[in-house]
Amino acid sequence: MAGPPRQLTGRGAAGAALALLPLLFLGVAFFWPLWDVLRLGLQVDGRWTGERLLAALSDPYVRRLILFTVEQAALSALLSLGLGFPLGWFLTRYRFPGRGLLRAFTIVPFVLPSITVALGFVLFFGRSGHLNRLLMGLFGLGEPPIRVLYTLWAVVLAHAFYNAPVVARFVNSAWERADPTLVEAARALGAGRFRAFATVTLPLLLPTVLSALALVFVLCTLSFSIPLALGGARYATVEVGVYLYARGVVASFPRAAALALLTLGLSLALTYLHLWGGGTFSARQGGVRTAPTVPLLSRERPGRALWLLYLIPAAIVFLGPIGAVVADSFLHPAPGGAAPTLHWYRMIASPAWNPFIESSPLAAVRTSLLVGGGATGLALVLGLSVSAVLRRVRSRILETILMAPLAVSSVVVGLALLLAFRRSPLSALGGEWAIVLAHTLIVYPFVVRAIRPLWDALDPALPEAARTLGASPFAAFRTVTLPLLGSGVLAAGAFAFALSLGEMTAVAMLSGPGVMTMPMAIYHFLGSRDFGAASAMATVLMATTALAAWAWDRAGSRWLSRTGAPAGFRRLPDSAEPVERVASGFMPNHTAVRRLRKVVADRLRRYGEPIHSTTDPVPASAADKHRRTHG
């Protein structure tokens, strides 16, 4: 029955107590540390001033950092589009063996730890990498023909590797939603194949393309491990700059804080930009049916074989680096050719102290798993309680506060916690705890974004029924709500775990002697040219992450595979599409943004697509869009 919003008896005190838990946690682990960064960046001798910011901005090195950041992000976004758009098209249009597998592969980069990608690039595209060796062998060259490492292009290429599949996934899912009737109508009106594509399909896809571009731009601006490992201090981004100032040889916390404020401003501006460019568009209601696929290989259209011209180089770029990592982990380089070995795996399973990583490899593996487990547990508790609070108290201010870590880049979170762990109360905790807290802060917004749509779709009569049968609010949650949210919570947990395992930015800021995780160990092995050990550890890391990501995708797609709403849910929860769920994590919710979105929506109306009202106080992610059309 339609009617007023259903709500359990509004016991203000209980709601406030519920909100207190996450607020307390965020206060101690996030806002207070962030305040320290602010003070360090904006205060000189207890006086508020912009001196440090101005000094930083007038430093030519810092200026180069900023310029480089924007330059590489823009180039990376364009290259990702160039590489990803054809792939999206390919996945939508053609039917061929392995299509499902290829589609599944597009999710991989999102969870593949970036340091493993950087390692793969070094191994594959490096001076004495696989590609150069292959080319030299094939053409009898005396010099390695490819020299991209430690240039702008290495960073851009690695970013494209990372993000092209994301673009492909966006394009693919938008294209599948586009109504083929429109193209048929254009053809019937006399438009040729190309004209129909240019005047109908492309405008329909444009919003998604913009959205994907904006997302990739944001991700590349905030990218850390890849520029750090492939660009060095010379080709560093602002994020890397914060790290270099905080942890480098000439450590200067005030300068690091000033840079952190710059990147904070940058990431805030970018999130808005992304919303402006993308948030509104990505998941609009599609047409009634999806376009049929055509077989890729057919005798009548041999021209389709031309796709190989794209697919083969693409396969080399995408599979080469990962393949190089896996291959090198099993090979022992020798003068007369490499020999298979398990030596590297024995090495990383060793509890012996390694001077390069200032810890033992085995301890790094253990720390990674423990930190991942701890952060996942905390993020689930925090994510569930934040979801519960935001369901109860529909306040934009509270939502902004509770989701604030979303707008802060990992390096800033790292710096804030680095400062916070130097004083009480946090200094009482061990160094691993700094990483656990950092990962919790980085990951829990995604948990909230994953769980809330599910929770909102759950029939409210179910927990109410439990209450009238004698269950306390918590008992009702534990025995009814939680089991029904089950697979969603599981998916969120698996994703959180994968994210924590691969996270290196905060770790770089917070690691130290004895406190080492797998990605950071890989980085140090890479720095000491210890490629075998790096590869072995990267292979283990990739396998673990892939497993977690697989679990995440499985649990998440349980929602997709059903035709109707699952038992207990009033409707199909939206945005089960994992990529979009991730992407939606980058979109905060502010009045100004909503106003912008309206402007964009108005402008888009001429494409004749329905744009749903955005007056709903609930967050405005692409994903939430469908939900608005239901009651």
Region binding other proteins by CB under 8 A among candidate stretches 203-211, 326-334, 456-464, 550-558: 456-464
98 contributes a contact to other proteins by CB under 8 A:
no
4 contributes a contact to other proteins by CB under 8 A:
yes
**Interface residues for other proteins in 545-564 (CB under 8 A)?**
none
473 contributes a contact to other proteins by CB under 8 A:
yes
Closest CB 560 distance from other proteins, rounded Å? 19
The one among 191, 369, 370, 475 contacting other proteins by CB under 8 A: 475
Closest CB 395 distance from other proteins, rounded Å? 16
The one among 46, 470, 564, 608 contacting other proteins by CB under 8 A: 470
The one among 210, 260, 386, 484 contacting other proteins by CB under 8 A: 484
| Other CB atoms within 10 Å distance of the CB of residue 326 | 17
- Residue identified by tokens 């509270």 is 398
- Cα separation values, 421 from 84, 239, 511, Å: 42, 20, 12
CB nearer to other proteins: pick between 7 and 424: 7
Q: Are 496 and 379 in contact (CB under 8 A)?
A: yes
Q: What does the alpha-carbon distance between residue 257 and residue 264 come to, in Å, rounded to a whole number? A: 10
Closest CB 559 distance from other proteins, rounded Å? 15
- At 628 the three-state DSSP class reads helix
Q: What does the alpha-carbon distance between residue 124 and residue 129 come to, in Å, rounded to a whole number? A: 5
Q: What does the alpha-carbon distance between residue 558 and residue 552 come to, in Å, rounded to a whole number? A: 10
From residue 402 to residue 441, the character string flagging contacts with other proteins as x (rule: CB under 8 A) and all else as - is ----------------------------------------
Q: What does the alpha-carbon distance between residue 57 and residue 233 come to, in Å, rounded to a whole number? A: 18
Closest CB 318 distance from other proteins, rounded Å? 41
Q: What does the alpha-carbon distance between residue 65 and residue 234 come to, in Å, rounded to a whole number? A: 9
For strand 339-340 and strand 331-332, is the pairing parallel, antiparallel, or unpaired? antiparallel
Q: What does the alpha-carbon distance between residue 511 and residue 245 come to, in Å, rounded to a whole number? A: 15
506 exposure class (CB count in 10 Å sphere: 0-12, 13-18, 19+):
buried
What is the 3-class SS of 435-460, one letter each residue?
Answer: HHHHHHHHHHHHHHHHHHHHHHHECC
Closest CB 471 distance from other proteins, rounded Å? 6
The one among 247, 304, 391, 467 contacting other proteins by CB under 8 A: 467
Closest CB 1 distance from other proteins, rounded Å? 7
16 contributes a contact to other proteins by CB under 8 A:
no
CB nearer to other proteins: pick between 44 and 393: 393
66 contributes a contact to other proteins by CB under 8 A:
no
8 contributes a contact to other proteins by CB under 8 A:
yes
Q: For the chain, give the number of residues.
A: 631
**Interface residues for other proteins in 486-505 (CB under 8 A)?**
486
CB nearer to other proteins: pick between 11 and 603: 11
Give 428's DSSP letter: G
Q: Bin 5: left if φ > 0, else alpha if -120 < ψ < 50, else beta.
A: beta
1 contributes a contact to other proteins by CB under 8 A:
yes
| Other CB atoms within 10 Å distance of the CB of residue 47 | 8
Region binding other proteins by CB under 8 A among candidate stretches 36-44, 141-149, 530-538, 566-574: 566-574
Binding site for other proteins (CB under 8 A): 1, 3-11, 459, 461-462, 464-473, 475, 479-480, 483-484, 486, 566-568
